[in-house]
A and B are shown apart, each in its own frame.
Chain A
Amino acid sequence: MIIRTGTYLDLILLIVLVVASWYYMNKAIRGEKLPMLRKIPAIDAIVEGVGRSIEQDRPVHYAMGASGGQLYSTLVSMTLAGIAMLRYIAKLCARYGARLIVHMPYQAESIPLIEATAREGYLEEGKPEMFRLEDLRYYGQGSLTWTQGVTSSFAQEGVGLNLEVGIFYSDCPISLEMAKIMGGMNVGGTGRWIMVYAFAMMCDYVFLGEEIYAAGAIVSDNPLMLSGIVIEEVGKYFVFLLLAIGIVLAAIGLDVGTLLSM
Chain B
Amino acid sequence: MNFWEILGAWVGAFFVISVLTMLWKDNPYFRFGQQAIIGATIAHYVLFNMKNVLNMALIPISKGNVILVVPLILGLLMYTRLSPDHAWFSKYPTSVLVGVGIGVMIAGTLRGQIIDQVKATVVDIFTAGTTFDLMNGIIIAVGTVTAITFWLFTREHKGALGASAKIGRIFLMVSLGTNWAGEEVWYLTQIIGRLIFLINVWIKGAILGMA
- Contact at A256–B122, with CB atoms within 8 Å? yes
Q: How far is the CA of A77 from the CA of B22 in the complex (A)?
A: 33
A184 CB to closest chain B CB (Å) equals: 14
Q: How far is the CA of A210 from the CA of B149 in the complex (A)?
A: 12
B79 CB to closest chain A CB (Å) equals: 9
- Contact at A201–B180, with CB atoms within 8 Å? yes
Chain A contacts of B41 at CB under 8 A?
106, 139-142, 144-145
Given contacts A72-B104, A74-B105, A155-B26, contact A208 B172 (CB under 8 A): yes
Partner of B98 from the list A72, A108, A247 (CB cut-off 8 Å) is A72
- Contact at A256–B119, with CB atoms within 8 Å? yes
Q: How far is the CA of A214 from the CA of B147 in the complex (A)?
A: 16
Q: How far is the CA of A157 from the CA of B96 in the complex (A)?
A: 37
B125 at the interface (CB under 8 A from A): yes
- Contact at B26–A156, with CB atoms within 8 Å? yes
B67 at the interface (CB under 8 A from A): no
Q: Which 4 A-B pairs have the closest CB atoms?
A: A140-B41, A155-B26, A76-B101, A246-B122
Chain B contacts of A138 at CB under 8 A?
42
In chain A between 131 and 174, which residues have their CB closer than 8 angstroms to a CB of chain B?
138-142, 144-145, 148-149, 151-152, 155-156, 170
- Contact at A260–B115, with CB atoms within 8 Å? yes
Chain A contacts of B73 at CB under 8 A?
none
Chain B contacts of A149 at CB under 8 A?
34, 38
Q: How far is the CA of A15 from the CA of B81 in the complex (A)?
A: 37
Task: Pick the interface stretch among B52-60, B106-114, B191-199, B201-209.
Answer: B106-114
Question: How many residues of chain B have a CB within 8 Å of chain A?
Answer: 66
Question: How many residues of chain A have a CB within 8 Å of chain B?
Answer: 70
Given contacts A38-B153, A113-B94, A229-B154, 20 further A-B contacts (CB under 8 A): A35-B155, A36-B156, A38-B157, A72-B98, A74-B104, A76-B98, A76-B105, A109-B93, A138-B42, A140-B39, A144-B41, A148-B19, A152-B26, A214-B153, A236-B152, A240-B148, A242-B115, A243-B122, A246-B119, A260-B115
Given contacts A112-B78, A113-B94, A214-B153, contact A140 B118 (CB under 8 A): no
User: Chain A's interface: helix, strand, loop or mixed, by majority?
Assistant: helix
Chain B contacts of A247 at CB under 8 A?
122, 125
B140 CB to closest chain A CB (Å) equals: 11
A224 at the interface (CB under 8 A from B): no
A29 at the interface (CB under 8 A from B): no
Residue positions of A touching B, CB distance < 8 A: 7, 9-10, 13-14, 35-38, 70-77, 80, 106, 108-109, 111-113, 115-116, 138-142, 144-145, 148-149, 151-152, 155-156, 170, 178, 193-198, 200-201, 208-211, 214, 229-230, 233, 236, 239-240, 242-243, 246-247, 250-251, 256-257, 260-261
B160 at the interface (CB under 8 A from A): no
- Contact at B81–A111, with CB atoms within 8 Å? yes
A63 CB to closest chain B CB (Å) equals: 16
B25 at the interface (CB under 8 A from A): yes
Partner of B141 from the list A37, A148, A243 (CB cut-off 8 Å) is A243
**18 sample A-B contacts, Cβ–Cβ < 8 Å, listed by A number:** A36-B156, A38-B154, A73-B101, A74-B108, A116-B90, A141-B41, A145-B37, A148-B34, A149-B34, A170-B183, A196-B179, A197-B176, A197-B183, A209-B151, A210-B151, A239-B114, A246-B118, A256-B126
Q: How far is the CA of A208 from the CA of B165 in the complex (A)?
A: 13
- Contact at A260–B152, with CB atoms within 8 Å? no
B169 CB to closest chain A CB (Å) equals: 9
In chain B between 38 and 80, which residues have their CB closer than 8 angstroms to a CB of chain A?
38-45, 78
Chain A contacts of B34 at CB under 8 A?
145, 148-149, 152
Partner of A260 from the list B22, B45, B78, B122 (CB cut-off 8 Å) is B122
